[in-house]
A = this chain, B = another copy of it.
């Protein structure tokens, strides 16, 4: 019986699922045709049809990471500080799915830092996140929920905070269970909202 287009797409999805599971368990360092074949209970021969070379497999993995991140469920954002908080919570490994995805992101940093083009892409991606966060910070300032101060600097700080929290939680999930991650983020947001130093220096109209 000839294969249909549906069969073909189902098989592609199975391959992508297997790549994702290998990444979640072994990271980019453990991403090989052999590991994906084993996960899929298939031959490496079959996989070379999809990925003629190792770099095709890595490219697919990066693309998958990008697409899954874009498609992940997000909290309703609200406005002001509630939107800032929602966007930052969306980054943290608070569920099994978010933990896999974060673990794969952190693992991809080795690959990305070694490749100038990819490294530049990552830099742009993080800059976009900071810009989005900066706009939310500025909106929270306009609502009077955050003291004045350069919103880009506040955004860069907040992004640093959550990225580092991700790394610590991945290595030490028992020291950073979800409720503690949320507590630490809320501590951080509380210092931002109540800081008189930024409101002190920067309240002059500009």
Tell me, rounded to whole Å, the shortest Cβ–Cβ distance linking A85 to chain B: 15
Tell me, rounded to whole Å, the shortest Cβ–Cβ distance linking A155 to chain B: 10
CA distance A156 to B172 in the complex (A): 12
Question: CB of A111 within 8 A of chain B?
Answer: yes
Question: CB of A75 within 8 A of chain B?
Answer: no
CA distance A159 to B196 in the complex (A): 23
**Interfacial chain B residues near A149, Cβ < 8 Å:** 187
Tell me, rounded to whole Å, the shortest Cβ–Cβ distance linking A156 to chain B: 6
Complex contact A110–B113 (CB within 8 A): no
Q: Which of chain B's residues has its CB closest to A108's CB?
A: B110
A-B contact pairs, 25 of them (CB 8 A): A26-B114, A29-B29, A103-B113, A106-B109, A106-B110, A106-B113, A113-B171, A123-B175, A126-B172, A127-B172, A149-B187, A154-B187, A157-B187, A159-B164, A160-B161, A160-B168, A161-B164, A163-B167, A163-B168, A187-B198, A191-B191, A191-B192, A191-B197, A193-B197, A194-B196
